[in-house]
Structure 1
Amino acid sequence: MFLSQLTLSGGDRAVAARPDEDGAAHLVPGAQSTRDLALAAIAAGRSLADEVEARGQGRAVDLAAALAEGRLLLPLDHPDPAHLHLTGTGLTHLGSAATRDAMHQKEQAREDLTDSMKMFRMGLEGGKPGAGQIGAQPEWFYKGNGHAAVAPGAALTSPGFALDAGEEPEIAGLYVIGPDGTPFRLGFALANEFSDHVTERGNYLWLAHSKLRPASFGPEMLLGDLPGHVEGASRVIRDGRVIWEKPFLSGEANMSHSLGNLEHHHFKYDLFRQPGDVHVHFFGTATLSFADGIATRPGDEFEIACDAFGLPLRNLLTQQPNDAAPVAVAAL
């Protein structure tokens, strides 16, 4: 089952459900947000899919038309954007170390390992622990809150001071924290973990700066388990022509960490288990157009597609003017 959020032609918010990739979408009666629907499911002690089915089927909606008209929203959000957390883990996919290592490697003896390769090896050796065990800690980063979450079809705007504006095709896990502090995973969505790779390459300690960029996910959320093998396509489109295209792989069969291990090392912090909060956690990638020498520019469009996750995720690239003046802080 897929869930999505949209604005109806009259301006009201709604939630739509599709039974599968080939099915038609219908409104979920009485639901104006995925978060409220999830909290109702938690209160009723049933799954999100069961909560949707218990409400019956509303009128049919055309999701493709809603997307084209700019009415499709993020599949999960929060009424207070400060309570939506965008975070992620890197070096989690087989092949991701080679991509990162090529960006950071300096002239050094062959037997020496970069920090990227050391982190990757930790995942290979201990990222998939047995049941009831805690595995190796992954790389973790913060991207921002709900103010940085961009709806499908909307523009990803790079700040004027950025040195690069590159896509990162990923799968994101979408979560709501229950009243007792339990994290509940609602499902998974296609995601563009938009980053500044030139800044990151300049110095690995600038990774935190490079990640503070907007991000997008959706348009639809896949309920249930993440397939063990996910294969999609990432494209950069310029002036109506695809200038770069490559498959991206995800799912635990293509990862050095298990989902459970990545989730533990995020939600082990009390800060991230505050009742009612929403979390969108990006699980990483090994595929970047930047690694193939592509320099994106304003007007390019990013497309991330995988039939198993419903409609493709598309976002236009825009950039703010470069204002070199320092930010002035006022004293009170």
Structure 2
Amino acid sequence: MNIIQFEHTQDQRAVGVVEHNVVKRVNAVTTVRDLALLAIENKNSLEQQIEALGFSDDQYNYQDLLENLKVLAPLDHPDTAHCFVSGTGLTHLGSASARDKMHQQNLNDEASVTDTMRMFQWGIEQGKPAEGLVGAQPEWFYKGDGSIVVRPGTDLPLPPFAEDGGEEPEIAGLYVIGPDCKPYRIGFALGNEYSDHIMERRNYLYLAHSKLRFCSYGPELRTGELPKHLVGTSRLRRGGEVIWEKEFLSGEDNMCHSLSNLEYHHFKYQQFLKPGDVHIHYFGTATLSFADGMQAQVGDEFEIEMKEFGRPLKNKLGLTQPELPIGSVITL
């Protein structure tokens, strides 16, 4: 089942189920978070809870909602400070190659092997432990809170201090923390993790800085388990023309870590288990236009597509944000 959050004609929020180009509005709830908390309370899956609530008589044209920018990110929190956006890197089997193109490492020279490559190798060796065992820790990063999330179709702002604004086509896990302080995965969504690759290339210790950017995910939340093998397409458009396009792979068959291992190493931290909080966790990628020598410009459009997730995720690289002047910190 593919689910969206959207604003309908009265600019009020709603939850809908997508069936081809028709969106059926779910009764009694206006947010996916509320739907998830209701499902947790009733010990239902998300799909079972939707079936129990039923649908209103209202139906909407999905394409119209997308074109009018009425589709929201498929999971959020009314207080953006309680939505945590994070991710893991070096999780996919081709990710070392993409990172190599960025950092120009010589993988055949043992003396030149970096911490990045060592961490990737740990994932290969210990990233998929047997059930009940703990595997290798992945690379982990924090992107921000819910205020950095832009809805599908809208711009990803380029900060004035940024050296690059490049796409990262990924799958994100979407979670709600239940009243029992346990994480509940409610589904998956396509994501554009969007980072500053030039900054990261300067020194891998700048990775944390390079990730503090806006992001987008959706438009649809896919319920259930993630297929083991997934094939998508990432595109970069300039002036309406595709200037770069490449296939990307995901799913556990194409990863050196299991999803359960990645989830364990995120939610083992008690500060991430506050009831009612929302988590968006990006699972990584092996495909970047930047690794192929591309650099996006303001006005370029990113498109990330995978048939299992319905409509593609599209966002343009937007104008810069206002810059905080040096010396703006005020002493009290």
Which TM-score tier does this pair reach, normalised by the shorter chain?
A: over 0.9
Counterpart for residue 64 of structure 1: 63
1:194 is aligned to 194
How far has the Cα of 1:98 moved from its partner?
1.2
Tell me, in whole angstroms, the C-alpha distance in 2 between the residues paired with 1:221 and 1:160: 32
Quote how far apart the aligned CAs of 1:324 are.
8.4
Matched, 1:134 2:134: yes
Structure 1 residue 34 corresponds to structure 2 residue 32: yes
Name the structure 1 match of 2:46: 48
The one-letter amino acid paired with 2:15 is: V
- Separation in 2, partners of 1:3, 1:45: 19
Shift of 1:107: 7.3
| Partner of residue 92, structure 1 | 91
In angstroms, what is the RMSD of aligned CA positions?
Answer: 1.5
Per-residue deviation, residues 167-203 of structure 1 (Å, max 9, x unmatched): 0000000000000110000000000000000000001
Distance in 1 separating the partners of 2:293 and 2:170: 20
> In structure 1, what is the equivalent of residue 224 of structure 2?
224
Secondary structure of 2:225's aligned partner = coil
Provide the secondary structure at the position in 1 that maps to 2:55. Answer: coil
CA spacing shift, 1:80–1:323, aligned 2, 3 Å: closer
TM-score (norm 1): 0.96
Secondary structure of residue in 1 paired with 2:4: strand
Deviations 1:80-128 (A, max 9, x none): 0000000000000011011112322457981221221111100000000
Contact 1:161–1:322 (CA under 8 A) maintained in structure 2: no
Instruction: Give the unaligned 5+ runs of structure 2.
Output: none
User: In the alignment, is the contact (CA less than 8 A) between 2:157 and 2:321 conserved in 1?
Assistant: no
Q: Per-residue deviation at 1:158?
A: 1.1
1:8 paired with 2:8, answer yes
Residues 105 and 114, structure 1, Cα contact 8 Å, conserved in 2: no
Aligned residues: 330
Asked if structure 2 preserves the Cα contact closer than 8 Å seen for 1:163 and 1:196, the reply is yes
- Whole-angstrom distance in 2 between the partners of 1:86 and 1:220: 17
Shift of the 246–327 alpha-carbon distance from structure 1 to 2, 3 Å rule, reads: farther
**Contact 2:87 / 2:141 at 8 angstroms: preserved in 1?**
yes
CA gap 1:276/1:326 in 2 versus in 1, 3 angstroms:
same
- Report whether the alignment pairs 1:77 with 2:62: no
Distance 2:83 2:326 in 1: 29
SS in 1 for 2:72: coil
CA distance in 2, matches of 1:194, 1:182: 29
AA of the residue aligned to 2:25: L
Letter in 2 for 1:25: V
Q: Which amino acid aligns with 2:225?
A: D
Q: TM-score, normalised by structure 2?
A: 0.96
Identity rate of aligned residues, in percent? 55
Q: Separation in 2 of the partners of 1:40 and 1:228?
A: 29
Structure 1 unpaired stretches of 5+: none
Q: Distance in 2 between matches of 1:247 and 1:234?
A: 6
Cα distance in 2 for partners of 1:321, 1:18 equals: 34
Partner AA of 1:103 in structure 2: M
Q: Match for 1:95: what amino acid?
A: G
Aligned CA distance change for structure 1 residues 228 and 200 (closer, same or farther; 3 Å): same
Q: Take 2:167 and 2:90, find their aligned partners in 1: how far apart are those partners?
A: 16
Q: Structure 1 residues 65, 327: CA separation in 2 closer, same or farther (over 3 Å shift)?
A: farther
Kept in 2: contact 1:101–1:116 (CA 8 A): no
SS in 2 for 1:150: coil
Kindly state the Cα deviation for residue 23 of structure 1 after the two structures are TM-superposed.
7.1
Alpha-carbon contact 1:101-1:114 (below 8 Å) kept: no
Give the counterpart letter for 2:142 in structure 1. Answer: Y
Give, in whole Å, the separation in 1 of the partners of 2:41 and 2:110: 55
Amino acid of the structure 1 residue aligned with 2:79: D
Aligned residue in 2 for 1:154: 154
Q: Distance in 2 between matches of 1:322 and 1:160?
A: 7
String of CA shifts for 1:120-145, please: whole Å, max 9, x gaps. 10000000000100000000000000
Distance change >3 Å, CA 5–CA 111, structure 1 → 2: same
Structure-2 separation of matches of 1:147 and 1:131: 36
2:302 corresponds in structure 1 to 302
Q: Distance in 1 between matches of 2:152 and 2:265?
A: 28
SS in 2 for 1:130: coil
